[in-house]
Amino acid sequence: FHFAAPDAYAGASSPFAGLLATASKAMGMVGLFRILLVITLPEGTEGSAVWLVLLGVLAAITMTWG
């Protein structure tokens, strides 16, 4: 999380602060979706299973600890 975000949200109008908060989360989801497409699309390759297991372990760790 950026340390300047609270100051930016406090100084901005409510609609613009909402846009800032929503746009950053949406771009993060788009980036994650693109990475997942690259990892999972070639299902026949042997490396995709390793990436999916690694992604599952990382998800479990971040849900538990993060």
For the chain, the domain total comes to 1
> Residue 28 belongs to what domain range?
5-64
**Per-residue pLDDT reduced to its tens digit, 20-49:** 889 988 998 899 888 877 777 666 666 677
Is residue 48 within 8 Å of residue 42, measured between CB atoms? yes
Q: Which residue has the tokens 């299973």?
A: 49
Any idea how long the chain is? 66
Residue the block writes with tokens 């999972």: 40
% of the chain surpassing 90 pLDDT:
23
Name the 3-class secondary structure at 43. Answer: coil
Q: What is the mean pLDDT of residues 59-66?
A: 88
Lowest model confidence (mean pLDDT) among 5-14, 22-31, 48-57 = 48-57
